[in-house]
Structure 1
Amino acid sequence: MKKKLQVALDLFKTEDALEILEEVADYVDIIELGTPLIISEGARVVKTVKDKYPDKIVFADIKVMDGGNVVPKSVLEAGADMISVLAASDDSTIKGAIRIAKEYGAKVLVDMCSVKDIAARGKEIEAMEPDYICVHVGYDIQETGADPIEELRKLEGVSCAKAIAGGIKLDTFAEAVASPAEVIISGGGICNQKNRRETAAKMREIMDSYLQK
C-alpha cells in the first residue's frame, strides 16, 4: 500500500501557509488547506498554492454539509485536487460532492468527524464509493483523549481507502503509519513545532522506512 503524508494548514493567512510550505513541502504528498484558511482567504488560496506546488495534491478542506454539487465549485475551479464532505451530512449531499468532484477530475474525502456510529456509517458511505474515508478526532475533542487509531479500528470491515487525523505528532507517527490508513494527516504535529522542516523530514523517514519493509 502506498501511504501519503498530509500536512494540515489550519491557519488564517495565505502568507503564513506559504511560509510553512517553504519548510515542509519537500516531505509531504498532500497539502491540506484547512477550513479556517479557506474561510479566511477563499478559493484564491487554492489557486496560489496549486500554482506554486503543481506536483503536490492540494486538498481543500471545505467540510461540505449541504449543497454537495454546488459548494465545492469554487475550489475545484481554482485547482483543488481533493475536497472534503462531512459524513454527518445527508447521503444526497455526499453523492453530489462525489459527482461534481469527478467532473473536475478531483477526489473526495468523507470526514467522519463527530459521527457516533463509525462502523455503521462507514458501511453506508462505502456504498457511495468515495476516494477516502477519514477517521478524524476533531480539535475540540482531542483533549478528551480520544485516539484516532483506536477509532480507525471500527472501520475494519470497510474496504475504502482510509485517512487518519487528530493530534498525530512525531511520537505517535510510527503507530499511525503502521495502521491501515493510507493517508496520515498531521497539522499541529508539524506546523506548531519549533523545527518544522526537521519534524516533517523525520515523519517522511519513518513512513519511507515502513514502506521498505
Structure 2
Amino acid sequence: MKLQVALDVATLGDALTLARQVADYVDILELGTPLIKSEGVSAIGAIKSAHPDKLVFADLKTADAGELEADLAFAEGADVVTVMGTADDDTISGAVAAGKRAGRKVVADMITVVEGRVQRIREVSELGVDFVEIHAGLDEQARPDYSIESLLVDGREAGVPFSIAGGVSVHTIASVKEAGAEVAVVGGSIYSADDPAAAAKALREAAGLPPTTSDVSTAAAG
C-alpha cells in the first residue's frame, strides 16, 4: 500500500511547504481540487519539479471533457488524475484514452456515490480506469453516523483495485491496509497536525509500511 497526502491548501506556497515537510514519509503528493482551482494547472508542474521522485496526483474531479482535462494535467507533469465516477461514461473513457496515450494513470473518484456504489465501482473499472478512489468528502464525514468502515466494506466487495479517502487516521490506517487498499489517502490528519512530518511518519508506522526511498536517504545522510 502507498501513502498519499492531500495538499488541501489554497496557495502554491503553502502546498510546497507542506510537501517539503512530509515528503520523506509519503509516496504520493496530491494537489487538492481547491489548490488547482486557485493556482491553475501550472501548480502541478511546480510540485513535480520540487519532488521529481514522488508520484504527483492531480485531483481534477473532472465531470466533463475528460480527455481534454486529463491532457492538460499530464502535460504539466501529473502522474495520476481523477475523473468523477458519476460522470458520463464517455467522459471517463476520454480520460482513460488520455492516460493511455501519456502512459499515466486515471482514477475514478467515487465521492457522492453512496447508493449503488459497488455496482458503479465495477462499471467504471470496466471502462479502463487504473483504480477507483472510494471517497467520503468532508461534508459526508461531518455527519454523526459516518464511519470509514462503509468505504472498506465496499472496497472488499467490489473486487477491483481501490484507494480509500475519508477519515484515514493513525487509528484507522491499519484497517485500510487490511481491507486491501492500494493507496491510503490522508488529508486533515496530516495538514491539520501541529507537526505534519511527525503525523505522516506516525501514519506510515501505524500501517506497517516500509520507509520511502527519500526517508532512507535522509537517515543515511544523518
TM range (shorter): over 0.9
Which is further off, 162-171 or 52-61?
162-171
Partner of 1:133: 132
Tell me if the contact between 1:7 and 1:32 (Cα under 8 Å) persists in the aligned partners.
yes
Q: CA deviation at 1:210?
A: 8.6
Partner of 2:173: 173
Partners of 1:148 and 1:108 in 2: CA distance: 23
Tell me if the contact between 2:155 and 2:179 (Cα under 8 Å) persists in the aligned partners.
no
Tell me if the contact between 2:26 and 2:200 (Cα under 8 Å) persists in the aligned partners.
yes
Partners of 1:16 and 1:108 in 2: CA distance: 26
Partners of 1:122 and 1:85 in 2: CA distance: 13
The residue identity in structure 1 corresponding to 2:136 is: V
Partner of 2:22: 24
- Tell me the SS of whatever aligns to 1:58: strand
Partners of 2:76 and 2:2 in 1: CA distance: 23
- Tell me the SS of whatever aligns to 1:197: helix
- Runs of 5+ consecutive residues of structure 1 not aligned to the other structure: none
Which is further off, 17-26 or 120-129?
120-129
The residue identity in structure 1 corresponding to 2:95 is: A
Tell me if the contact between 2:58 and 2:78 (Cα under 8 Å) persists in the aligned partners.
yes
Change over 3 Å in CA distance of 1:15–1:92 after alignment to 2: same
TM, length-normalised to structure 2:
0.89
Q: CA deviation at 1:167?
A: 1.8
Cα-to-partner distance string for 1:74-102 (whole Å, 9 max, x where unaligned): 21100000000011011111111011111
Q: CA deviation at 1:154?
A: 2.0
Instruction: Summarize the alignment of residues 1-213 of structure 1 with structure 2, pairs less than 5 Å apart.
Output: 3-115=1-113, 116-144=115-143, 145-208=145-208
Change over 3 Å in CA distance of 1:210–1:24 after alignment to 2: closer
Q: CA deviation at 1:176?
A: 2.0
Q: CA deviation at 1:209?
A: 5.2
TM, length-normalised to structure 1:
0.93
Corresponding residue pairs, total:
209
Q: CA deviation at 1:159?
A: 3.5
Work out the percentage of aligned pairs sharing the same amino acid: 37
Partners of 2:193 and 2:96 in 1: CA distance: 35
Tell me if the contact between 1:149 and 1:179 (Cα under 8 Å) persists in the aligned partners.
no
